[in-house]
Amino acid sequence: MILLLFLTLLLLLFINVPVAVALGLSATLIFVYASDVPLLIVTQKMFNATDSFPLMAVPFFILAGKLMESGGISRRLVNFANTLVGPVRGGLAIVSIITCMFFAAISGSAAATTAAVGSILIPAMVKKGYDKDFSTAIQASGGTIGVIIPPSVPLILFGVAAGTSIKDLFIAGIIPGILIGTSLVIVALIISLKKGYGGGEKSTFQQFIRSFADAILAMLMPVIILGGIYGAVFTPTEAAVVAVVYGLIVGLFIYREIKLKDLSRIFSESVITTSVIMFIIATASIFGFLLTRERIPQQLSDLMLGFTDSPVITLLVINVLLLIVGTFMETSAVIIILTPILAPIVSAMGIDLVHFGIIMVVNLAVGMVTPPVGINLFVASNIANVKFERLVYATLPFLLILILDILIITFIPEISLFLLK
């Protein structure tokens, strides 16, 4: 019966039935075919899964990210970072990654980070003589930090699915995010030095002060959001709504780059992104109910324990699985589907669930720049108008260091858990 369930799901996904419908339909068909559970449970589960206050952080962080994108905040962050490190060799490459890290601390999405920072920096880098493929590759890989440095939509989804504290996950994501950012800077710097990219006029102290003053409101935003969550002042959902209101005020009244007529576009785009994720959550809960009822996670976990009791091997196997799945399926969907299955397995091995959440999100983030279908590669190649194949080639050095980062984060739990102790 369970084999049938998974086969039905895979078949439906294979013929391009939307993920949300595939999850709900496969579970519903099995209900009708092989159980006496009343069908009413389908709509009941869908309702209960979406009737959640913690999940409300998802639409708010999506909305906050879109407000930042349109509100001129990314441009100001770029300018400030540029006066800091712009003049050195590979300066703009470093600016790209640092801005991605800052932007990541505001927005919860990788594609948004790539789009917001890339649309400004790729043209700027090309103008300064950087190779276009290389500039685009930096943006694609830099954007992955978007989901690792908190706030992060995938981490919220993991927290809800695994029943772990979202706040702990957010704290645990900080050092891995910085590690990945630093490693990308190193690769970008080495390539820039070899090819002689960048360098140029130094900015004056006055320029520095001006760009700092201009960007201060943008930089205060992560301080308010993350400070509020870590200081236990706000729940993540409340911090997210504060971010939305802050973004609205700054964008509408202070920077004045958002016009009232832009708001309907920003809101409706956020609604679509939100309901696509939330609808998957709704239907995945039917699927999850069936799994739990049949004790599938326990059975899989027993199976895995019979095969090996080494956490190292288990994590390696899961890493490979996630990297593969992450290349052709969207991050949020993978987290919603796989977390309830994988969490019991790793718990049985004595692996900390917060640490596992970070492993999962980092893996899936790297999947976004892994060919053939990494979403960040598509976003970046679109905004820069670079051929996909050339971008894949230019991204390879970054991809290699990212895979090394995955291994480091997986096998040194302290990197994630240090700040929690």
Partner 1 sequence: MDIFLKAVQVINTVIKYFLILMMFVMVVVVFLQVVYRFVLDNPLAWTEETARYLLVWITFLGAAYAMGSKAHIGVDLFMNMLPKSLRKILLIITTLLSLVFFTVMVTQGYILSQRTMMQTSPAMGLPMGYVYLVIPISGVLLMINLLYTVIGDLRGEES
Binding test (CB under 8 A) with partner 1, winner from 272, 396, 400, 404: 272
Q: Which is nearer to partner 1, 58 or 104 (CB)?
A: 58
User: Does 24 interact with partner 1 (rule: CB under 8 A)?
Assistant: yes
348-351 long-range contacts, CB within 8 A, separation 24+: 348/301, 348/304, 348/305, 349/305, 349/309, 349/311, 349/314, 350/311, 351/311, 351/314, 351/315, 351/413
User: What is the smallest separation between the CB atom of 295 and partner 1, expressed in angstroms?
Assistant: 25
Listed residue (356, 300, 17, 7) closest to 169, CA to CA = 356
262 binds partner 1 (CB under 8 A): no
Site membership for partner 1, residue 16 (CB under 8 A): yes
Cis ω before 371 (30° cut-off from 0): no
Q: Using the rule CB under 8 A, is 47 a contact of partner 1?
A: yes
With both helix axes pointing from N to C terminus, report the angle between 388-411 and 353-367 in degrees, rounded to the nearest 10: 170
Residue 391 sits in the site that holds partner 1 (CB under 8 A): no
What are the φ/ψ torsions at residue 325 (nearest 5 degrees)?
-60, -40
Query: Which residues lie below 8 Å from residue 259, measured CB to CB, with a gap of 6+?
Result: none
Contact call for residue 418 and partner 1 (CB under 8 A):
no
One of 100, 116, 329, 361 touching partner 1 (CB under 8 A): 329
Cα–Cα separations (whole angstroms), residue 139 to 96, 184, 312, 398: 7, 11, 32, 11
- Of the candidates 14, 36, 261, 306, which one interacts with partner 1 according to CB under 8 A? 14
Helix (H) or strand (E) holding 165: none
Indicate which single residue of 82, 83, 237, 370 sits in contact with partner 1 (rule: CB under 8 A): 237
Interface with partner 1 includes 65 (CB under 8 A)?
no
What is the C-alpha separation between 323 and 364, in angstroms, rounded?
6
- Asked if residue 28 binds partner 1 (CB under 8 A), the reply is yes
Using the rule CB under 8 A, give the single segment among 19-27, 69-77, 127-135, 392-400 that binds partner 1: 19-27
Q: Considering the rule CB under 8 A, would residue 61 count as an interface residue with partner 1? A: no
User: Contact residues for partner 1 (CB under 8 A)?
Assistant: 12-21, 24-25, 28, 39-40, 42-44, 46-47, 50-53, 55-56, 59-60, 63, 233-234, 237-238, 241-242, 244-245, 264, 267-268, 270-276, 278-282, 328-330, 333, 372-373
